[in-house]
Structure 1
Amino acid sequence: MTGSILIADNVPTNRIILKVKLSSAFYEVTQATSGAEALARARSERPNLVLLDIDLGDMTGYAACAALKADPLTAHIAVAIITPPRDQEAKIAALKAGADEVLGKPLDAPTLSARVRALMRASATSGELRRRGETVRALGFAEAPATFGRPGRITLVGSTAEEAMGWRVGLRGMIHDEIVIERREKVLRAVHDGAHSDLYVISTRPGTGEGLRLISDLRAREATRHAGIIVVHGQQERREALMALDLGANDLITRGADPEEMALRLRTQMRRKRDADLLRQILDEGLRLVSIDSLTRLYNRRYALAHLEKIAEEARTGGRHFALMLIDIDRFKSVNDTFGHAVGDAVLAEVGQRLRDSLRGMDLVARFGGEEFLVCMPMTSLTEARAAAERLRVTICDRPMTIAPDGTPVTVSVSIGLAMGGGPDRSAIPDLLAVADQALYSAKAEGRNQVTLGSHAA
């Protein structure tokens, strides 16, 4: 199935007609005969979309929508309210109740299909981001701070400057976000220059396809890929408007609509954009924390192992060599025993900083565990690797790491095990790590504070 939809209507014929239309598109469709049943089913089934008739018998579709949006268990579910034909008051009431979409009767098949596809796409994106955010929080990472009160930015792209100015005048006092007017041919230049917006309101021009091309261009750019896009179209431009939805537009407004309707739709899209941005922020921060060692701010073992595989694959493909080093602080236990763990942590952090400062941007440096660090240098010959390893060893031991509370300079040395990969050698990463580990053991056994080349790489 491509998604689940709950239809709520107290008229059996209406439910059956809708179910037939939606089931033919392979949606999983369930039905509710009243508002109370719709609320209960939404809580238990968690559909991707709820279609509410304006009259549910025991309550209005507005009341049911408001209840769904107020319940944390169902607030994320997309809701569309079906209203009588050309009833502007009903449309405004539905949007005020929190509806994500308003569908006016009669529901012709192309319009219904396009609207449902757009809503299901938004629901799928929101659902995936929400699940990933929940996973990140389950791993113990804090939720990103909310950005309540932050004004958004809306770009109005009218078919004429006068049309866009008319929109801005109509929205005055109802929208508190920054509103800018941009000529169609200047929109992408503004995005390139860093002046991108949260929402774009784009007017179509009959027969030109310019609005559709602009939607595609905005969706293709990183800065505007997740922006909200609302298309304003004429009554006779329905086909182009429905194509806009399939190209990634989030909503449609008929040209000449009440400014209050535009304001309500803009608020809905801005809320969606902010919610999605917050979820992405949670995810990005969680992934960053999952891959970074909190003490040294270097990559951790989990990230390093995954990245090593990529480096090895690129080396195999390009026929290049890479160097792999395991670096261990000599007699680190005595540092903790003598000066305390706070000083030991300071030493670890400083070693990590010096390693990072002494390597190229393309090199991988990670805390591999305890007092052990890993360095991988892509596109590096054996001669270059030995020189780099020796430089790193000297960088660590040539001056104190920190000053203990009693004023004693704390100096440490490191032992380094070196292995080479790539070229004709097709050794797997675990094998190369074993070679480097054995070389590190030899460096320790032979007196510490030295670089030892693994026998596999000799």
Structure 2
Amino acid sequence: MQRRILIADSIPANRVIFQVRLGDGFFRPLLTSDAASCLRAARRERPDLIVIDCDLPDMPGPQVIATLRADPRTRSLPVIALAGPDTPQKRLAALRAGADDVMTRPPDMAVMLARIRNLLRQREESQMMSRAWGGDLPERLGSEMLGLAEHKGSFQPVGPIGLIAARAETALHWKHKLAPRLREHARVLAPSEVSGYGDQTGQSHVFLIAADTGTHGGGLRLMTQLAGASPYRHSMFCIVAPETSDAAALAFDLGAHDVIDPEVTAEELDLRIRMLLRRKQRADAERNSIEAGLRLAIIDPLTGAYNRRYAFPRLAGIAEQAAVEGSEFAVLVLDLDRFKSVNDRYGHTTGDTVLIEVVRRLRENLRIEDLLARIGGEEFLIALPDTTAAEAHRIAERLRCVVGDTPVDGGNGVELQVTVSIGVKTGGGPMAAPEDITAMVDEADGALMRSKISGRNIVTLSHSPA
């Protein structure tokens, strides 16, 4: 599907050029000649990106951008502003209003198309959050639901900021352009200091890199190397290159988050670095939220043990590995004895305390490769890879003792004697067929029931007589 690019430019010849060049770039142009029609089209058509000239006849471009950012329907749309040469205040006004970039009019179309592709890719990445929630959430709603909404004055610029140029004097010049608050976080780095991916530079939040660092295109190669290295994978990269150069277009296509001209004013450089730091802060918050969500999908929030959703696929993997290696493994199903009476007598808060403590004791007596999962209210599943029947029985007895031998502190001076009943099923072995894990768990559960019938606080193997 063609991406739709909304153009707001009052000069007919410019609109014709945009129509032709955007069409050549496999985009679908939507053309408007003033601010009012641009705003209507943005709300009605919901384009993928907007290009706005700062000198529209009925409203200044920065005001148009501010209006777009204030409307929930258009707030998240990428915006490129166009400003005439030698108009630094208009450029700053557009950036402060919320433009993603400001380019000099008339733009180099190769660079413009590269920047459009770049911003659309970035937007696609940012929409991952909405898709993770099962739909296209409005930006503010999604941010508030996930705890990412920014409060006024909450953003504090942080570093470190890496400044990399062929000559240290050039990087020092950039550093002195920054306001004191950012300058203290900026560090001049030689290309050799980071090209080896060492930890000596710290994990920079923003890299400002000259397109040519010693060799033609050396800065671009360094950026791609850093972006693929673990310490810097989530950093923001800004390339310093002439706005109308091939290097600028290539930088955008290689994934640079911004490109600035070597003659950028101190005020604009400072503002663009702050914008990148803000994006870095938000990207980190979104990524952390996604990781937390993924963790919650597989972890029981009360005890920290894995949940049923994770346990059974993991158990299937253990069974498959055992079949490949010809090794044995074991499945244990545990249940806390008479746990309902704990909740009934002392309340669910005390019951939760007991569950948490039992899981702690179990985890401390299992190996790293063992699986511990909560599969019911007070029922747990343990998988023991590379474990014989005799070893599984000894482990089960040890777990029974570490739970039952020491009372659990239930809080408020309450000490509870807690015991567990355990059922054990082993499988695998040389020449054995792959095990049916559902059947194994059912057999372990059956052995658990026999432990309960036999008086509780007992370990029963699945082949033991009923």
Structure 1 and Structure 2 fold alike (TM over 0.5): yes
Match of 2:426 in 1: 420
Match of 2:179 in 1: 172
Offset from partner CA, 1:269-299 (integer Å, 9 cap, x none): 1221112112112222233334332322222
TM-score of the superposed pair, with normalisation by structure 2: 0.86
- In structure 1, the gaps of 5 or more residues are none
Match of 2:383 in 1: 376
Match of 1:296 in 2: 303
1:359 maps onto 2:363 in alignment: no
Shift of 1:57: 3.2
Offset from partner CA, 1:238-283 (integer Å, 9 cap, x none): 2233222222211112223222222222122122111211211222
Equivalent position amino acid for 1:369 in 2? G
The range that moved more, 364-373 or 2-11, is: 2-11
Shift of 1:416: 1.4
Match of 2:76 in 1: 76
Equivalent position amino acid for 1:103 in 2? M
Offset from partner CA, 1:66-107 (integer Å, 9 cap, x none): 222233443322110123356545433332332111222334
Whole-Å Cα distance in 1 between the matches of residues 355 and 145 of structure 2? Answer: 23
The range that moved more, 300-309 or 141-150, is: 141-150
Match of 2:147 in 1: 143
Match of 1:341 in 2: 348
Alpha-carbon spacing, 1:219–1:444, altered in 2? closer, same or farther (3 Å):
same
- SS for the counterpart of 2:435 is coil
- SS for the counterpart of 2:17 is helix
Alpha-carbon spacing, 1:173–1:10, altered in 2? closer, same or farther (3 Å):
same
- SS for the counterpart of 1:230 is strand
Alpha-carbon spacing, 1:268–1:148, altered in 2? closer, same or farther (3 Å):
closer
1:125 maps onto 2:125 in alignment: yes
CA RMSD of aligned residues (A): 3.0
Q: Give the 5 Å matches for 1:121-270.
A: 121-132=121-132, 143=147, 148-149=155-156, 151-173=158-180, 175=182, 178-188=185-195, 192-193=199-200, 195-205=202-212, 207-234=215-242, 238-270=245-277
Match of 2:439 in 1: 431
| Match 1:444 to one of 435, 444, 452 | 452
1:25 maps onto 2:25 in alignment: yes
Shift of 1:349: 1.5
The range that moved more, 63-72 or 128-137, is: 128-137
Contact 1:201–1:231 (Cα < 8 Å) also in 2 = yes
Contact 2:252–2:258 (Cα < 8 Å) also in 1 = yes
Offset from partner CA, 1:419-455 (integer Å, 9 cap, x none): 3345533234333322222222232233322222335
Q: Give the 5 Å matches for 1:300-319.
A: 300-319=307-326
The range that moved more, 77-86 or 110-119, is: 77-86
Whole-Å Cα distance in 2 between the matches of residues 443 and 141 of structure 1? Answer: 46
Shift of 1:303: 2.9
Whole-Å Cα distance in 2 between the matches of residues 428 and 41 of structure 1? Answer: 59
Alpha-carbon spacing, 1:102–1:234, altered in 2? closer, same or farther (3 Å):
closer
Shift of 1:301: 2.2
TM-score of the superposed pair, with normalisation by structure 1: 0.88
Contact 2:197–2:229 (Cα < 8 Å) also in 1 = no
Offset from partner CA, 1:352-378 (integer Å, 9 cap, x none): 111111111222212211110111223
Offset from partner CA, 1:396-439 (integer Å, 9 cap, x none): 1112123575x564112211122334553323433332222222
Contact 1:49–1:123 (Cα < 8 Å) also in 2 = no
Contact 1:200–1:228 (Cα < 8 Å) also in 2 = yes
- SS for the counterpart of 1:226 is coil
Whole-Å Cα distance in 2 between the matches of residues 280 and 433 of structure 1? Answer: 36
Offset from partner CA, 1:133-170 (integer Å, 9 cap, x none): 787998x9762586632523211112211011111112
- SS for the counterpart of 1:369 is coil
1:8 maps onto 2:27 in alignment: no
Alpha-carbon spacing, 1:33–1:380, altered in 2? closer, same or farther (3 Å):
farther
Q: Give the 5 Å matches for 1:95-114.
A: 95-114=95-114
Contact 1:197–1:227 (Cα < 8 Å) also in 2 = yes
Equivalent position amino acid for 1:178 in 2? H
Contact 2:243–2:260 (Cα < 8 Å) also in 1 = no
Offset from partner CA, 1:36-55 (integer Å, 9 cap, x none): 33334334444332111223
Whole-Å Cα distance in 2 between the matches of residues 322 and 144 of structure 1? Answer: 44
- SS for the counterpart of 2:79 is strand
Shift of 1:220: 0.7
Shift of 1:12: 4.6
| Match 1:387 to one of 385, 394, 405 | 394
- SS for the counterpart of 1:231 is strand
Whole-Å Cα distance in 1 between the matches of residues 231 and 215 of structure 2? Answer: 28
Contact 2:193–2:201 (Cα < 8 Å) also in 1 = no
Match of 2:417 in 1: 411
Shift of 1:327: 0.7
Offset from partner CA, 1:8-36 (integer Å, 9 cap, x none): 23445433432332233333443444323
Give the aligned length: 453
Whole-Å Cα distance in 2 between the matches of residues 408 and 91 of structure 1? Answer: 68
Alpha-carbon spacing, 1:62–1:408, altered in 2? closer, same or farther (3 Å):
closer
